[in-house]
Structure 1
Amino acid sequence: MTYCIAIKTNTHLIFASDSRTNAGPDHVSTYSKIFSWGIPGKRQFVLLSAGNLATTQDVVMQINRDIREEEETNLHTVKYLSDAADYVGRVSLMMQNKHNNAQMTSGFNAESTFILGGQIGLDPPEIFMVYPQGNHITCPAMTPFLQIGEIKYGKPLLDRVIVEDTLEEDAIRAAMVSMDSTMRSNVTVGPPIEIISYDVGTLTPGQYRIFRNSDAYLRLLRKRWGEALLEAFGTLPELPVLSESQKASLSSSPALQKLPVKSAPVISDPDIAQ
């Protein structure tokens, strides 16, 4: 499985991904799921991927090939970021169809989902989620982030922390905690964690960071977050004591009265009975 995050603030675009593609009992594989292209001073793009690895690799290779061979439509020629998202969607569909036609196997799934973000010229920065069907959406102003892959474990933190004026360092830390929460709950998501932070308006490649499982900062972040959660849990208010009327009302509840009464099991084995 995979977990990828893109965060859009007033000053930065933050992209984060795990690197695990296989987490069987005796085999763990890691591949980068974050890719970047650009022309300094003119445009910058970052792509996050989730789904079928063969499809993802073919999409990235086709994007590189189109740039190298100066095809009419490529990431160096599109006018708008939405055009770039359309282009990635078309390439993804083409590669999915290629693998589906080659496999012809029941249950085989060549689908991949992408997040594409960046900036072209003086246009505002954007992030887009590109679905396996080729269409795409962008993030709403009230929820300035997008996720793909195993999104459910890390989303609550992002919902509470990320807003448009979140500082770069806070956005990166939030992405890392969201990623660590997901890794703790799902073994198919794992390190290294890769992060690119792009400064809005600079049109230069973003700052790249990688955090392996043995990284001292990642281990400290994980430890402090776990301790903070336990401390916060310990400060939660105690449950209110039920009044006598509430107890009476509960005992006379029709729902409880309908519960079946189970008799104790009959033990027939004399050895156990002793």
Structure 2
Amino acid sequence: MTYCVAMRLDTGLVFLSDTRTNAGVDHVSTFRKMLVFERTGERVLVLLSAGNLAVTQAVRQHIVEARDTDTIWNAKTLTDVARVVGNAIREVYARDAKALETFGVDFNCSFILGGQIAGQPSRLFQLYSAGNFIEASSVNPYFQIGESKYGKPIIDRLVTPSTSLDDGAKCALISMDSTLRSNVSVGLPLDLLVYEENSLRVTRFASLTDDNAYYKMIHDTWGARLRQVFAELPEPQWAASAPGASAASLPPLASPPDEMPGAGDPVSVQSLAQDFGGGAPG
């Protein structure tokens, strides 16, 4: 498995991918999931992949070796580039799907495509196994593929289109670190690319290992600060009641029912449960 995330921000694009393809007991392997197409001053395109490695590699090869009239190099818009990638997925499916099915292997692949063509704004797309795709918007400015659930909450809480590129990169790394913590099928090294709007060239790229100073700081600091914030949250205050006490004898809420308690206010967990329809503990 893998984890890739990309963000479409007002000032550019952020891409991050891991490189793990296998995490068996005695065999761990890596493969780069980020593919960059650059023609300085004319276009920059980034493709992230997740799913069955043989399938995604076949799609990537099809794109790289294409000699048709419609290729990623002569596509007029990013939507046209997304169609080229979608057609490549369908070509590989038409060729390999039946053989894979014979051996009980699913045709499983997903891609994130982003970049900019001169004279147009940067854009971001997610493509599925059927070759269809959707585009990021101001409402949903990011996409994830692969093991996405562990790294999603931090992005949902922090990322908006107005987020800076540096903050986007930082948030992507925290998202990845959360995923690495919870899933062994995602692993280092990481590929991070930050694209500045209208630069039409790659200026910020890094391959991060566990000895990278900045990633190590993110890993150590984020865990420590989470524990610190957790420790600072007030503990639940259980309402005292005599054995067999009726619901009517429970103490009232610490705050009026029409107000939410503030941070640090003592709140009776038992009273809250009663207020929301729970019965007194037996």
Report the TM-score range of the alignment, normalised by the length of the smaller protein: 0.7 to 0.9
Change (3 A) 1:108 1:162: same
Task: Tell me the distance in 2 between the aligned counterparts of 1:104 and 1:15.
Answer: 32
Counterpart residue number, 1:31: 31
Task: Tell me the distance in 1 between the aligned counterparts of 2:214 and 2:202.
Answer: 24
Counterpart residue number, 2:49: 49
Letter matched to residue 16 of structure 2: A
Which residue of the other structure, out of 206, 211, 221, is the alignment partner of 2:208? 211
Counterpart residue number, 2:157: 160
**1:12 deviation in Å?**
1.7
Task: Tell me the distance in 1 between the aligned counterparts of 2:245 and 2:186.
Answer: 45
Change (3 A) 1:76 1:103: same
Task: Tell me the distance in 2 between the aligned counterparts of 1:229 and 1:120.
Answer: 40
Counterpart residue number, 2:224: 227
Give yes or no for contact 1:118–1:126 (8 Å, CA) kept in 2.
Answer: yes
**1:102 deviation in Å?**
2.9
**1:243 deviation in Å?**
5.1
**1:178 deviation in Å?**
0.3
Counterpart residue number, 2:263: none
Give yes or no for contact 1:116–1:127 (8 Å, CA) kept in 2.
Answer: yes
SS of 1:170's partner is: helix
**1:244 deviation in Å?**
3.4
- 1:193-212 to 2 correspondence within 5 Å? 193-212=190-209
In the alignment, structure 1 segments of 5+ residues that lack a partner are 258-274
In the alignment, structure 2 segments of 5+ residues that lack a partner are 248-269
Moved more, 79-88 or 148-157: 79-88
Task: Tell me the distance in 2 between the aligned counterparts of 1:143 and 1:169.
Answer: 19
Give yes or no for contact 1:158–1:175 (8 Å, CA) kept in 2.
Answer: yes
Task: Give the TM-score normalised by structure 2.
Answer: 0.84
Counterpart residue number, 2:10: 10
**1:56 deviation in Å?**
1.2
Letter matched to residue 225 of structure 2: A
**1:237 deviation in Å?**
2.2
Task: Tell me the distance in 2 between the aligned counterparts of 1:60 and 1:80.
Answer: 19
Superposition misfits of 4+ residues, deviation over 6 angstroms: 253-257
Task: Tell me the distance in 1 between the aligned counterparts of 2:49 and 2:245.
Answer: 54
Task: Tell me the distance in 1 between the aligned counterparts of 2:229 and 2:245.
Answer: 30
Change (3 A) 1:238 1:255: closer
Report how many aligned residue pairs link the two structures. Answer: 254
Matching of residue 139 in structure 1 with residue 136 in structure 2: yes
Change (3 A) 1:233 1:105: same
Post-superposition Cα deviations, 1:207-266, rounded to whole Å, max 9, x if no partner, equal 211111232322221110000000010111221332539964379x77977xxxxxxxxx
Counterpart residue number, 1:262: none
**1:90 deviation in Å?**
1.1
- 1:1-274 to 2 correspondence within 5 Å? 1-66=1-66, 69=67, 71-242=68-239, 244=241, 248-249=246-247
Give yes or no for contact 1:96–1:111 (8 Å, CA) kept in 2.
Answer: no
Change (3 A) 1:112 1:241: same
Give yes or no for contact 1:119–1:125 (8 Å, CA) kept in 2.
Answer: yes
Give yes or no for contact 1:143–1:159 (8 Å, CA) kept in 2.
Answer: no
Task: Tell me the distance in 1 between the aligned counterparts of 2:139 and 2:226.
Answer: 26
Task: Tell me the distance in 1 between the aligned counterparts of 2:141 and 2:223.
Answer: 26
Post-superposition Cα deviations, 1:56-93, rounded to whole Å, max 9, x if no partner, equal 11111111112xx4x20001111111111111011012
SS of 1:91's partner is: helix
Change (3 A) 1:128 1:247: farther
SS of 2:116's partner is: strand
Task: Give the TM-score normalised by structure 1.
Answer: 0.86
Task: Tell me the distance in 1 between the aligned counterparts of 2:193 and 2:105.
Answer: 32
Give yes or no for contact 1:92–1:134 (8 Å, CA) kept in 2.
Answer: yes
Task: Tell me the distance in 1 between the aligned counterparts of 2:214 and 2:24.
Answer: 27
Superposition RMSD in Å: 2.3
Q: Percent identity?
A: 38
